[in-house]
Amino acid sequence: MSAGSHRVRAGGRIDRNEPRVFSLDGRRLTGYRGDTLASALLAAGVSVVGRSFKYHRPRGFVTAGVDEPNGLFTLGEGGRAEPNAQGTVVQLTDGLRAASQNAWPSVRFDWGAVNSWIAPVLQAGFYYKTFMGPTRRAWMFYERFIRRAAGLGAARHDPDPDRYDTHYLFTDVLVIGAGPAGLSAALAAGRSGARVLLIEQDGLLGGTLLSDPVTGQTEPWRARLEAELQSLPEVRILRHTTALGVYDGNTAILLTRRDHCAPDPGNGEALQILTSVRAKAVIHSTGATERPLVFPDNDRPGVMMASAVRTYLNRYAVACGRHAVVLTNNDSAYAAAFDLAPQIDRVTVVDVRRALHPALTAKAASLGVEVHAATAVTGVLGRTRVRGVTLTPIDGARSRSAPCDLLCVSGGWSPMVHLSSHGGIRPRYQADSAAFVPGGYAPGHFGAGALTGRFSLGEAVQTGWRAGLRAAAECGFERVSADPPAEPEGVAPWDTANHRIEPVWALGGARAGKAFVDFQNDVTVRDLAIAHQEGYESVEHLKRFTTLGMGTDQGKTSNINALAIMAGLRGIELPEAGTTTFRPPFVPARLGALAGRHVGQHFRPVRRSPLHAWHLGHGAQMIEAGPWLRPWYYRWAGETVERAYLEEMRRVREAVGLSDVSTLGKIDVQGPDAAEFLDRLYVNGFARLPVGKARYGVMLNDAGTILDDGTTTRLAETRYFMTTTTAGAAEVMSWLEFLVQTAWPELRVHVSSVTDEWAGIAVAGPKARAVLERALPGWDVSNEALPHMGCLEIEWDRMPVRLIRLSFSGELAYELYVPADYGTAFWEHLLSSGEPFGIRPYGLEALASLRIEKGHVAGAEVDPRLTLNDLGLGRMARPEKPFIGRELAARPLLDSPERPSLVGLECLEPGQRLRGGAILFAASDELKGHGRGYVTSVTWSPTLGKFIALGFYAGGLRHVGEEIVCAFPLYGERVRARITSPVFLDPKGERLHA
Amino acid sequence: MLRIHCPLCGERPYTEFRYGGDAGKHRPVHGAGGIEAWHDHLFLFENAKGPHREFWQHVQGCRQWLIAVRDTATNIVADVALARDARGLEPQGPGER
Ligand SMILES: [Zn+2]
């Protein structure tokens, strides 16, 4: 067929004066403004658009909307490539580049079609059994081949160059879907004065009315309502917008596509907008989708939904064939037959029902449409295109074949119950419409139109109007200033609420040929029978066993047929079979749209110390530490971290260094009961801590395991200055607030986070005191005036300084806290004061290595699975005083001497290294399982000239001196090490007391 | 989206809050409860369907700990009070001792 041969000469909602040039697999094609990719391809005579998932059968378009299972394309290229886009909803734009998927080398000639010959291997349960069963190993082998053949579109690794926005909207009434019911509902609510947000996934308003002839009798009604809605100041209409989900608190998440605007990311224009809308009332007018009938070879290109064929004809001016057979079990499909009849060569209706509405048969006769009642289609001729059908009378008379190039199918209608079910309300079966309808609505939610299982146009307008009034009243808008809109004229006498459907679920019995239930995942009637035989009968099991409904279309066309067929196999009624759970999103959403602008540096907030700018300006290489950016090492000490941290450590051990510790959590604890509060909080006592003294403390959680540690200083009788770990700061603050507000409100104490208010600077090394003497003239910082764990509140340049003598590195060291805004000035003052002593800044790597040499726990050792005893800190606890966690810390198993507890490790093999995460075994152990312990922190110790580590080992320090094995199975490593005390340096503390 | 009416700040999305666990149980008195009491408090829950008293902290607002009564079946938050004030209230409904 030549290009353009299927376009009808006149009519439709396309603009023939505005051609749109696009390409499919590099082939240049032309459509018109108003086309979708699907309508333009059908107009061009492209009938095969993809290959099926498992069997690689040729497939064509089946629908004209969001329920399309077959017509999936990859749009665009590089980082812009969007896989699995439904051609039926993609608006045709100039320059659109589409590529077909799941076929190599082409959709017409596909090597994967060999799967059709080995099909028995791929029957139901193949994936399930190979994943879960004893043949799992085989899956590892086959996976490479199957993935390549069965893939849908491929995801890309390139960064997405497009921009996405997030909006927040508020409204009184949210109307989801602008078909006749939604238009009517929006008008009723809008006229009352309520704020109305009407959303429509299509670019045009009208829903099914858009599939009526443009010159028909419903169009004036549609146009009139659209015009009035646009004139109402409180009504806002979002087109190209789909509701992905409806959530608690009347929140809906909407996705607006803007492809048709060709947005320019360089100009800040978003490709898609994700909107979170909060409404006081929600109207569900989401309509219904036509469902297929199941019969052998019902997937051949040219087998389409009757309503879709009518949409292509009336909206897009595309005749999908010249000789159509319409197969139906209800009255709705006749509209397609009657609209096609004047436009194509021949139309035949095949109706499985015996008794037909006389008005239908009369109209058919007047249009020359042949009608076969009580007849079914039980087979399809043709492979890449329908060439004919097998007709079988229901009463069992002989089958005969009839030629055709288009088979229009209607198995009835399925309400789009997805959104109304997202809150957990299960759909209920309504037998007279053979449909699942919402099982109820959340408070403030209302349903209207075809969603309710009432499919006629008249019911849509009426139920919409009533829902609109009720929703407006829910928001306090009672008055409506005008009568309901007159119903559209020319409604056919056979347009009844249930289309007089007689449900049939599978035609053609056990004949040869595959009868598909789920087109996208290639699930057949036979697969359902296998699932039944194997006992996977419940809906959720059936779904997972056969993969039914697990494609990108989430079973929009397949679920009910599958449920009905399974109910038949089990001999139960359809409602007893139940439905699967409906979950957001209603249609696939791009990750980019969900991320919005939270990408790159905006992914999460970055915390910077008050000294950040100084670090950047003075050669610091920064590193992420949780949300913080901290100096990793400084270039003065070397160009690489491996060289620099050793030099920085040497400076601290031999002279003096300074380091930014502003990230430590800082909490101001004040009040007459501050001492009592801290006594309850820490395992060790703080009530008798003298003013002007600091103490290291450990907190447990209620379960009796480690929460956090840090140094707390008593500034006054009723005031303490607490520091926490960097990582634990937020958690500890929240915990303190919990205790003060809920557990112990009788305590007169206030806690306040001052982390951001104070800059913290550590000065460490044998020359540290000399630096302070020079930096703080007039203040006595001698060993007598300021002994280890002493604190002075002093001033520099009329600015308060908290000077606490404590050491993380094991050297003579101080921490100085100054108001954050003065942090840089004071840091520079310390640097210049220390210049004669060779002071230099040191970073996080050196800080960590210094503390490992000294055996201070931090980071990986402050682990909520561990106890005080595990850390070797058991003697800190004062069990005579109650403290949080005391009771559960005494659980017998937590006290076992065989628990892994803190040890030091030194590497015994020169040239080998220790690794964090290594598993520890005794020398005589077989190297398997979880071993006797693990390594938490490792460093090369320049002081000792070997790799050292901290870790946990069963029995702990009882094994000091033993030689063990550190295994790292991932790299196949095993290294000999010796267990030591965790304190590698200056165990008597002579340096820090100097 | 779940919304919580903070008595001090007004109605806010739950993303401004942190969940703080079951508030239907009385915390053992500090230093008084034994292992059993603390074990029950920390590890045994009713997992009720229906109204559930629970702690929430308005971390991105006033930092106050609140007690909210949330229906675990509908997610509707019926009642919110400052934990400081609500503490004296007797436990009520399922899941509380
Ligand atoms: Zn608040």
State the total domains in chain B. 1
Asked if the model's pLDDT at residue A110 lies above 60, the reply is no
Number of residues written out for chain A: 994
Beta-carbon separation of A738 and B31 below 8 A: no
What are the backbone angles phi and psi of residue A81, rounded to the nearest 5°? -60, 130
Q: What are φ and ψ of residue A920, in 5° steps?
A: -100, 135
| Å from CA of B58 to ligand 1 middle | 5
**Superfamily of chain region A667-753:** Aminomethyltransferase beta-barrel domains (3.30.70.1400)
* CATH ID of A15-116, from 3.40.50.720, 3.10.20.440, 3.40.710.10, 3.40.50.1260: 3.10.20.440
Q: Report the pLDDT value the prediction gives residue A509, as an integer from 0 to 100.
A: 64
Name the maximum alpha-carbon separation found in chain B: 41
Distance CA(A264)–CA(A261), nearest Å, equals 9
> Is the pLDDT score of A490 beyond 80?
no
- Burial class from Cβ neighbours inside 10 Å (0-12, 13-18, 19+) for residue A231 reads exposed
Alpha carbon dihedral A240, A245, A247, A249, in 10-degree steps, equals 10
Interface of B to A at Cβ within 8 Å reads 1-3, 18, 20, 27-28, 30-31, 33-35, 37-39, 41-42, 55, 57, 59, 63-65, 74-76, 82-84, 87
Taking the centre of ligand 1 as the mean of its atom positions, its distance from the CA of residue A883, in whole angstroms, is 30
A-interface mutation test, from B18, B19, B38, most A Cβ less than 10 A away: B38
Q: Do the chains contact at B41 and A702, CB–CB below 8 Å?
A: yes
Q: Tell me the pLDDT tens digit for each residue of A454-463.
A: 999 999 999 9
d(CA A235, CA A192): 11
Identity of residue A952:
F
Q: Which fold does the domain A611-662+757-850 belong to in CATH?
A: Gyrase A; domain 2 (3.30.1360)
Q: Which amino acid is located at A549 in the chain?
A: G
Asked whether the ipTM of the predicted complex exceeds the cut of 0.85, the reply is: yes
With an 8 Å Cβ cutoff, are B2 and A249 in contact? yes
Q: Two tokens at A660? A: 């930014």
How far apart are the C-alpha atoms of A923 and A965, rounded to whole Å? Answer: 6
Specify whether the CB–CB gap between A416 and A289 falls below 8 A: yes
Helix (H, G, I), strand (E, B) or coil at B76: coil
pLDDT at B90: 44
Closest CA to A252 of A465, A422, A24: A422
User: Angle at Cα A927 formed by Cα A924 and Cα A931, nearest 5°?
Assistant: 90
- Please tell me the distance between residue B16's alpha carbon and the centre of ligand 1 in angstroms: 9
Contacts with A442 (C-beta within 8 Å, 6 or more apart), sequence order: A250, A282, A423, A425, B74
Q: How confident is the model at residue A124 (pLDDT cuts 50, 70, 90)?
A: low
pLDDT at position A510 is 53
- pLDDT band for A448, please (50, 70, 90 cuts): very high
Question: Where exactly are the structural domains of chain A?
Answer: 15-116, 164-288+415-474, 611-662+757-850, 667-753, 896-994
CATH number for the domain including B49?
Answer: 3.30.2270.10
Q: Which of A249, A745, A888 sits opposite B87 (nearest CB)?
A: A745
Q: Using pLDDT thresholds of 50, 70 and 90, give the confidence band for residue A5.
A: confident
- Chain B's closest residue to A738, CA to CA, is B65
3-state SS, residue A743: helix
Q: Distance (Å) from the C-alpha of residue A943 to the closest C-alpha of chain B? A: 45
More confident residue, A342 or B2: A342
Spatial separation of the C-alpha atoms in residues B43 and A704, rounded to whole Å: 13
Neighbours of A815 (CB within 10 A): 24
The C-alpha atoms of residue A544 and residue A546 are separated, in whole angstroms, by: 6
Distance from CA of A472 to the nearest CA of B (A): 21
Average pLDDT taken over every residue of chain A: 91
Average pLDDT value for residue range B77-93: 70
CA distance A64 to A37: 10
8 Å CB contact of A890 and B35: yes
Percent of chain A whose predicted confidence (pLDDT) is above 90? 77
How many angstroms separate the CA atoms of A190 and A225, rounded?
A: 11
Cα Dmax for chain A: 115
Please report, as a single letter, which amino acid is at residue A568: G
Angle at A86 between CA A82 and CA A88, to 5 degrees: 140
Distance from CA of A888 to the nearest CA of B (A): 6
**Contact (CB, 8 A) for A428 and A345:** no
Scanning the structure block, which residue is given the tokens 């109204």? B51
pLDDT 10s digits, A213-235: 999 989 999 999 999 999 999 99
Q: Structural domain of residue B20, as residue ranges?
A: 3-26+33-96
Q: Provide, as residue numbers in chain A, all residues whose Cβ is less than 8 Å from the Cβ of B63.
A: 737
Q: What is the DSSP track for A580-620?
A: PPP-S-SS---HHHHHTT--GGGSS--EE-TTHHHHHHTTE
Task: Kindly report whether the peptide bond that precedes residue A585 is cis, defined as omega within 30 degrees of 0.
Answer: yes
CA distance A204 to A206: 7
Question: May I ask the CATH architecture of the domain A896-994?
Answer: Beta Barrel (2.40)
Q: Does the pLDDT at position A409 exceed 60?
A: yes
Q: pLDDT tens digits for A308-360?
A: 999 999 999 999 999 999 999 999 999 999 999 999 999 999 999 999 999 99
Which pLDDT value is given to residue B96? Answer: 36
Buried b / exposed e along A850-863 (16+ C-beta atoms within 10 A): bbbbbbbbbeebbe
* Beta carbons of A62 and A108 less than 8 angstroms apart: no
Partners of residue B84 in chain A, C-beta under 8 Å: 741-742, 745
Give pLDDT, residue B97.
34
- Characterize A717-749 residue by residue with b for buried, 16 or more Cβ atoms within 10 angstroms of its Cβ, and e for exposed: ebebbbbbbbbbbbbbbbbbbbbbbbbbeebeb
Most confidently predicted of A388-402, A502-516, A724-738: A724-738
Whether residues B64 and A741 touch (CB distance < 8 A) is answered with yes
Partner-chain residue, chosen from A248, A702, A745, that has the shortest CB–CB distance to B1: A248
Q: Which residues of B touch A278 (CB under 8 A)?
A: 1
| CATH number of this structure's domain A164-288+415-474 | 3.50.50.60
- Phi, psi torsion values for A514, nearest 5 degrees: -90, 130
Give B70 Cα–ligand 1 centroid separation in angstroms: 17
> Residue A852, SS3?
helix
Q: Tell me the CA–centroid distance for residue B2 and ligand 1, in Å.
A: 15
Which chain A residues have any C-beta within 8 angstroms of a chain B C-beta?
Answer: 247-249, 251, 276, 278, 442, 680, 702-703, 734, 737-738, 741-745, 882, 884, 886-888, 890-891
